[in-house]
Amino acid sequence: MCIIVILSYVVLGIYEFVPLYKEKRWKEFYVNLGLSLISFTLAFLISFNVKIPSPLKPIELIIYSLFMK
Amino acid sequence: MVKITDKEAICIAVLFLLGSNIVIGSGLDVKNDNWIAGILGLIYFIPFALIYARIQVLHEGRDLPEIAELLFGKVFGAVIIAIYTWYSLHVGALVLRNFGEFVKITSLTETPLIVIMLSFSIIIIVAARLGIEVIGRISTYALPVVILILILMEVLSISQMNFNYIKPYFAHGLPKIARAGFSAFTFPFGESVIFLGIFYSLKKRGSAYKVFLTGVITASIVLITLTLVNTFILGPVKDDFYFPSYSSFSRIQLGNFLQRMEGTISVSYAITCFIKASVCLFVTCKGISYIFKLTDYRFITIQTGLVMTYLAFILYENTVEMENWVLNIYDYYAIPFQVIIPLFIWVWAEIKNRISKNPKEKTANYQSEETQ
């Protein structure tokens, strides 16, 4: 599974980053790189069945403590 | 600059608002009084629709990030842009997750959830990358299909209906129904605050009022009718189903040749979810590109779409948790995005508008006095 993830991201990388590099659009390049790193990390962890904490949990805790005491 | 017509904008609005509610229904929690909650939700929302439209009319041709920066400056404006970028990303993820759960429960039971959502996200990413004009054109073709399917299914299911299931009226008491009406306000009507990120592209000046009101009223008529049909068919057991519309349409049976019609609602659901998630992804990409001052949002659509899909996957552990979030938490969570911040933006926009008008009036008066 993780090999599929790595391969897909390599293909995506070639498709997305090569044109940006050639056109020297550095701002777009770095923002895309940041987003790619986030999405790759998430995809890699999901492929290993790692339980990633949901961002809704802290929101839920705040709402419970504020409105549902 | 890309422009969309009023008709396209109305079609986007209706499909967006139908979104997940087409199978979930509106104003949950009050059983046979759900339809009253739907009407109350619409009544609560109309003033806010006017506020959202007013914000757009005051800043013709500008999207939400530009409005926020213009009104609140770079720093505070960026905070508001970040808040709404998160909100549209989150709503998009919720829609994707709802659709994934729906497909997994009803048809692809053995397929992993992430595969279903990734497959669906491909077309969403393509649509968002092609832009709002394309989403608008798809909507004009898709809306009649969705409405026709719903009308046809509702007519075919008349033989399965028991009109007594709607009684007793107001059985849950007005306070509880009013609370459920607020639930209908936040989900789905209030979510139309996201339109502030796309209605900058309206062709006609001042048509935001028309688009917001027509879109919201049409969508609410469809949703309330659907809620009534579900009540007539499923009656007291309606709340036992995660997707009541799917269950009620599965009961259609005309002789031996016309049965198992629930596939049609799945098609409608796929269309509405596609439009809603595409709009959310488009607004998210626009927000991110505005924060980082990118020249084009298209460069980041693929990665943002993937982040949205993974976010949808990690949001909940199961369907029960998803339902608990929608029923108990979402109403409170949505208040700042749908009520507090838009009110704040509107008041500040009106003040700034008056201040910027006054010097012009003074100069005009002075000039007229001079000519006299």
Q: In sequence order, what are the residues at sequence separation of 6 or more whose Cβ sits closer than 8 angstroms to the Cβ of residue B200?
A: B56, B59, B61, B62, B63, B66
| Cβ separation A42–B310 shorter than 8 A | yes
What digits encode the pLDDT tens for the residues A1-20?
789 999 999 999 999 999 99
| Residue of B304, B314, B325 with shortest CB distance to A35 | B304
Instruction: Check whether B362 has a pLDDT greater than 60.
Output: no
Contact assignment for A32 to B300 by CB distance below 8 Å = yes
Chain centre distance of CA B357: 34
Task: Tell me, yes or no, if A27 comes closer than 8 A to chain B by beta carbon.
Answer: yes
**pLDDT range class, residue B88, cuts 50, 70, 90:** very high
Name chain B contacts of A36, Cβ cutoff 8 Å.
303
Number of CB pairs, chain A paired with chain B, less than 8 A apart: 70
- Using the beta-carbon criterion (under 8 Å), do A31 and B292 form an inter-chain contact? yes
Number of domains comprising chain A: 1
Inter-chain residue contact A28 with B296, CB threshold 8 Å: yes
Inform me whether the pLDDT recorded for B288 exceeds 90. Answer: yes
Sign of CA dihedral B271, B272, B277, B279: positive
Burial bucket for residue B126 (CB in 10 Å: 0-12, 13-18, 19+): middle
B310-321 CB burial, b ≥16 within 10 A, e <16:
bbbbbbbeebee
Q: Apex CA B31: angle with CA B30 and CA B34, to 5°? A: 65
User: Which stretch of B81-95, B215-229, B274-288, B309-323 has the lowest confidence by average pLDDT?
Assistant: B309-323
Adjacent-strand bridge partners of B202: B4
Min Cα separation A34/chain B (Å): 9
Check residue B283 and give its pLDDT. 95
pLDDT of amino acid B83: 95
pLDDT digits (tens, 9 = 90+) for B126-155: 999 999 999 999 999 999 999 999 999 889
Better-scored residue on pLDDT, B258 or B114:
B114
Query: What pLDDT is attached to residue B282?
Result: 95
**Nearest CB to B294: which of A12, A16, A27?**
A27
Residue B200 in any domain: the answer is: yes
A chain contacts of residue B292, beta-carbon cutoff 8 Å: 27, 31
pLDDT at A2: 85
User: In Å, how far is B304's CA from the nearest CA of chain A?
Assistant: 7
Instruction: Answer whether residue B41 is part of any domain.
Output: yes
Which chain B residues are within 8 Å of A10, Cβ to Cβ?
A: none
Q: Which residues of B touch A21 (CB under 8 A)?
A: none
The angle subtended at Cα B136 by Cα B133 and Cα B137, nearest 5°, is 90
pLDDT at B318: 83
Mark yes or no for CB contact B310/A43 under 8 Å.
yes
Cross-strand bridge partners of residue B121 = none
pLDDT at B252: 84
CA dihedral B283, B127, B314, B19 (to 10 degrees): 80
Please count the residues of chain B. 372
- Cβ contacts of residue B351 below 8 Å, gap of 6+? none
Q: What's the half-sphere exposure (Cβ side, CA atoms, 13 Å) at B212?
A: 28
Among A2-16, B259-273, B347-361, where is mean pLDDT lowest? B347-361
Question: Has residue B1 been placed in a domain?
Answer: no
- Listed in sequence order, the residues at least 6 apart from B4 whose beta carbon sits closer than 8 Å to its beta carbon are B12, B132, B133, B136, B201, B202, B203
**Which of A33-37, A38-42, B165-169 comes out lowest in average pLDDT?**
B165-169
Q: What is the pLDDT of residue B112?
A: 93
Per residue in B207-223, pLDDT (tens digit) is 899 999 999 999 999 99
Residue B114 counted as domain residue: yes
Predicted confidence (pLDDT) at residue A69 exceeds the cutoff of 80: no
Residue in B294, B307, B315 nearest the CB of A31: B294
pLDDT of residue B284: 96
Kindly state whether residue B135 falls inside one of the protein's structural domains. yes
Considering CB atoms only, which of A27, A39, A54 is closest to B303? A39
Provide the domain count of chain B.
1
Q: What is the pLDDT of residue B222?
A: 93
pLDDT score, position B26? 67
Determine the residue among A10, A31, A37, A45 to mutate to test chain B binding: the one whose Cβ has the most chain B Cβ atoms within 10 Å.
Answer: A31
Strand partners, B46: none
Tell me the per-residue pLDDT of B10-46, one tens digit each, with 9 for 90 and over. 999 999 999 888 887 765 678 888 899 999 999 999 9
Look at residue B242 in the predicted model and tell me its pLDDT: 80
Reported as a single tens digit per residue, the pLDDT across B232-265 is: 998 877 777 888 888 888 888 877 777 778 888 8
pLDDT in tens, B321-337: 888 888 888 889 999 99
Q: Which long-range contacts (CB under 8 A, 24 or more apart) does A44-50 make?
A: A44/A2, A44/A5, A44/A6, A46/B114, A46/B310, A46/B313, A46/B314, A47/A1, A47/A2, A47/A4, A47/A5, A48/A1, A48/A2
ipTM of the complex: 0.95
Collapse the DSSP code of B173 into the 3-class scheme (helix H, G, I; strand E, B; otherwise coil) and give the result. coil
Q: B94 — phi, psi (to 5°)?
A: -60, -40
Read off φ and ψ for residue B254, nearest 5 degrees.
Answer: -115, 100
B288 to chain A, any CB pair closer than 8 A? The answer is: yes
Inform me whether the C-beta atom of residue B325 falls under 8 Å from chain A C-beta atoms. yes
Give B267's pLDDT tier (boundaries 50, 70, 90): very high
Q: Specify the pLDDT at position B300.
A: 94
User: Is residue B119 one of the residues assigned to a domain?
Assistant: yes
pLDDT band for position B5 (cuts 50, 70, 90)? very high
Structural domain including B43 reads 6-371
- Average pLDDT of span B116-127: 95
Helix, strand, or coil here: B258? Answer: strand
Map residue B246 onto helix, strand or coil: helix
CB spacing of A16 vs B299 below 8 angstroms? yes
Q: Quick check: B315 and A43 CB within 8 A?
A: no
Say yes or no for a CB contact (<8 Å) between B310 and A36.
no
The verdict on a CB contact (< 8 Å) between B306 and A39 is yes
Q: How do residues A40-55 score in pLDDT, each as one tens digit?
A: 999 999 999 899 999 8
Q: What is the CATH number of the domain that holds B208?
A: 1.10.4160.10
Contact B310 A67 (CB under 8 A): no
Distance, CA of B69 to CA of B62 (rounded, Å): 11
Tell me if residue B202 falls in helix, strand or coil.
strand
Structural domain boundaries, residue A35: 2-67
Q: Locate the chain A residue with the closest alpha carbon to B312.
A: A54
